Amino acid sequence: MARSKFPKFSAVQARADFPAILKHYGIEARPEGDELVCNCPFHEDRTPSCF
């Protein structure tokens, strides 16, 4: 099988600082249990719908 030129998502996820990336774009994420939650950036939202 040919090797993909794209990295595995798990490798990217392990190295990326997703809260910092979201904050850079003006999206505040907060911890809820084992996940981060935030309001959807694509429409007005009163409760977190992005996990």
| Domain assignment present for 26 | yes
pLDDT score, position 24: 93
| Domain assignment present for 4 | no
Task: Indicate the number of domains in the chain.
Answer: 1
DSSP code per residue over 1-51: -PPPSSPPHHHHHHH--HHHHHHHTT---EEETTEEEB--TTS--SS--B-
Domain that holds residue 33: 19-51
Q: Which of 25, 23, 24, 28 is nearest to 38 (CA)?
A: 28
| Domain assignment present for 7 | no
pLDDT score, position 2: 67
| Domain assignment present for 32 | yes
| Domain assignment present for 14 | no
| Domain assignment present for 39 | yes
Higher pLDDT pick, 49 / 21? 21
**pLDDT > 90 in the chain, percent:** 2
| Domain assignment present for 30 | yes
pLDDT in tens, 5-20: 877 888 888 888 888 8
Residue 4, φ and ψ in degrees, nearest 5: -70, 145
**pLDDT > 70 in the chain, percent:** 92
